[in-house]
Homo-oligomer: A and B are copies of this chain.
Amino acid sequence: MGSHNIEPLNMMNPLDPEEFRRQAHLVVDFIADYYSNIEQYPVCSQVEPGYLTKTMPKSAPLRPEPIETILQDVNKHIIPGITHWQSPGFFGYFPSSASTGSFLGEMLLTGFNPVGFNWLASPAATELEMVVMEWLLKLLQLPESFSFSSDGGGVIHGSTCESFVCTLVAAREKKLNQFGTNRSDTLGKLVVYCSDQTHFSLQKACQIVGINLSNVRSIKTKMSMNFQLSPDALTMAVESDVRAGLIPLYVCFTVGTTPTTAADPLLILSEIAKRFDMWAHVDAAYAGSACICPEFRHFLDGVEGVNSFSFNLHKWFLTTQQCCCLWVKDRTDLTKALSTNPELLKNKASDTNKVVDYKDWQIALGRRFRAMKIWMVIRSYGVIGLQEHIRKHVKLAKHFEALLVADNKFEVVVPRNFAMVCFRISPFALATVANGCSDEESNRLTQALLESLNGSGLVYMTHAMIEGIYVIRVAIGATLTDEKHVNMLWDMVQGHVSGLLAK
């Protein structure tokens, strides 16, 4: 082969196995040390806007820099600007629960770095995804109709919003085909239903797929009904739209809403969706994980009546960002709406229709080999370990709830369903006000309590407003959170509230 030499290439090798080995070992130790020391950092970053943009060079470095220098900069510049979602004192939003198993999965999938847009581009990526989606289907006791062995199937999306977009487009195309004739005219008449507790991503997804936002019905819920979507209110809203000549398209039910973890009654609601020929989707982003425990599975009763179901493994299933699992009852609904079949990707396996080409189940063409991390998580912890993980956090949340209930300075505002507790300072906490203070005053105090607790840097929580009441959401679910951290939180709550009430 000496005959076709060209002038020597004087190149670095950015995938030199031995240099890879050396540097990656360094970073493993860096991250292990980070987890060891994580309680030393303020949970919510305390930097000011612009802290990093001011410090960093304005242009890319010309020459390569050694990993040792870069890691020093991670310590000096990056870590102070991180809000430490992995800290055991992180109780904000919903958890983003990392684990060693998921980390190893990310390493492997990044190491292989295939682009599994169709089966052939990396058969293992597609087939392992089908395998783990069937495992999860069984774990959640989802109906057989969502399985690949029937007409359904599961796919890993990056986010719930992507699942909303894809199912909305599937539902929209189905409906437009039913009505034929004037697409634009029909499109303008399509209506989407949800509750005022539904995640705001649904609204965004509607905006993306071209549903008039004036045709998105956000049905009011009530505290007295535990913020569940009311079947009567839904029926009335749909009937009113139908009378007005509009076309019901899609309804979203939630199991484990973001503000309070409310769970909609799927059984009766899905009947309504069927009656009006609407696509029904269940968003169990947070609470889906809990439903692998038999004692929580009843929250999914009725799921057999809907068209699609999704939950986020990246919240509470020990799986790193981004991993939203979506199942549909009729996979051709998705593929009819999202398929592309360009010459460039033609291949025998796809032509025979014997394989799944996941590009037709999602927005993008490219995709990471995310099944790898789910597979690693499930095998590393087993069903028993995963259930134990869920139950641990639920037990801690029950414990924290009991402490609040036993103390008349506090009010648990909504019943706890899973591992999140919503509380406020009770209007009766102020000894000086015999009949209780106003909600406004309680709101002001509760918000001050939250800010004071977060300001400590030891814990981090976020809030919700429900029927005019400001509540602190304590979402227990960080992988490292243990009994001592919940007890520390309780001691802090006690200390800070005394200070506040004394003023």
Contact = CB atoms under 8 A, between A and B. Distances in A.
DSSP class of A's interface residues: helix, strand, loop or mixed?
A: helix
Interface stretch (A156-164, A220-228, A232-240, A303-311): A156-164
A81 B159 contact: no
B364 A162 contact: yes
Interface size class, chain A: 35 or more
Contact of A83 (B65, B123, B259, B479): B123
Contact of A34 (B111, B352, B482): B111
A408 interface: no
A115 B96 contact: yes
Nearest to A318: B14
Q: How many copies altogether?
A: 2
A377 B376 CA distance: 27
Contacts of A135: 59-60
A365 interface: yes
Interface string A15-44: 111111101110111111111100000001
A123 B52 CA distance: 8
A394 to B, nearest CB: 11
Contacts of A34: 111-112
A242 interface: no
A482 B1 CA distance: 13
A115 B95 CA distance: 10
A344 B45 CA distance: 18
A158 B83 CA distance: 22
A388 B58 CA distance: 22
Contacts of A321: 110, 113, 115, 366-368
Nearest to A134: B58
Nearest to A203: B340
A184 to B, nearest CB: 3
A47 interface: yes
Interface stretch (A267-275, A413-421, A435-443, A487-495): A487-495
A421 to B, nearest CB: 14
A298 interface: no
B15 A86 contact: yes
A467 interface: no
11 contacts: A6-B399, A9-B483, A14-B318, A14-B389, A17-B32, A27-B108, A44-B120, A51-B127, A82-B114, A85-B113, A200-B365
